[in-house]
């Protein structure tokens, strides 16, 4: 009887360990990539359709100059983070992952700026599908790029979210927490996300 109980306990432990491993592996399946930047404004001036400083109308330049003279230059935009549930082993087309939290740090030209988290949990669809996670960014450009003139600072903003802008000047350090059947699983370290390719822990 003792031998049978031992064998059953041993089998249970093996099954549990395998289940835990599968849960963690599935949570780490997700791949990440920076998508588009939208809604770029600086000091309340919409610059999302402007390609260069010289294209900004004089009244808006005056507004930017006044704000800059006060020692700040706030920029606001939405960075669309893409989360992909890739093809491969684990998961299914009908399964989904719930991101409980997503601690992030934003870098511009490799300069660390602001940090944040998602306001609510987000569901990532099953295998082979991609979800867009819009992250609202409010960053005072002048705070992190001191000793630069107004035109250069606006140039940074336009390079990110102007008419010809792209997220290439951005990177995101993320540390997701994902729900699994054994409870929330937090990535053991940060993952650096860029716009060139999907990247995961596996």
Q: Quick check: 195 and 185 in contact, CB under 8 A?
A: no
CA-CA-CA-CA torsion sign (91, 198, 132, 118): positive
pLDDT exceeds 90 at position 82: yes
Q: Quick check: 48 and 41 in contact, CB under 8 A?
A: yes
Average confidence (pLDDT) over 24-46:
86
Residue predicted with more confidence, 67 or 16: 67
Which neighbouring-strand residues pair with 78? 38, 136
Q: Quick check: 192 and 170 in contact, CB under 8 A?
A: no
Residue predicted with more confidence, 123 or 87: 123
| Radius of gyration in angstroms for the set of CA atoms belonging to the chain, rounded to a whole number | 22
pLDDT exceeds 80 at position 74: yes
Distance CA 131, CA 35 (A): 11
Q: Quick check: 202 and 22 in contact, CB under 8 A?
A: no
pLDDT band for position 124 (cuts 50, 70, 90):
confident
pLDDT exceeds 50 at position 11: no
pLDDT exceeds 50 at position 127: yes
Sorted by where each begins, the domain ranges of the chain are 2-200
pLDDT exceeds 90 at position 77: yes
Q: Quick check: 107 and 149 in contact, CB under 8 A?
A: no
pLDDT exceeds 50 at position 10: no
């Amino acid at each position: 009887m003792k031998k049978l109980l031992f064998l059953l306990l041993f089998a249970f432990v093996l099954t549990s360990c395998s289940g835990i491993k599968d849960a963690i592996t599935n949570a780490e399946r997700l791949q990440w990539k920076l998508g588009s930047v939208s809604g770029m404004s600086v000091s309340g001036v919409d610059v999302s359709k402007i390609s260069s400083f010289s294209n900004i109308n004089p009244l808006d330049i005056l507004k930017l100059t006044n704000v800059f003279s006060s020692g700040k230059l706030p920029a606001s935009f939405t960075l669309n983070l893409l989360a992909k549930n890739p093809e491969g082993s684990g998961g299914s087309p009908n399964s989904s992952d719930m991101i409980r939290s997503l601690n992030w740090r934003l870098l511009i030209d490799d300069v660390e700026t602001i940090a944040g988290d998602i306001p609510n949990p987000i569901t990532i669809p099953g295998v082979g599908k991609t979800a867009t996670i819009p992250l609202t960014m409010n960053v005072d450009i002048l705070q992190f790029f001191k000793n630069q003139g107004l035109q250069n600072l606006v140039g940074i903003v336009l390079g990110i979210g102007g008419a010809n802008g792209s997220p290439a000047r951005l990177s995101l350090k993320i540390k997701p927490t994902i729900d699994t059947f054994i409870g929330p699983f937090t990535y053991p370290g940060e993952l650096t996300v860029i716009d060139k390719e999907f990247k995961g822990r596996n």
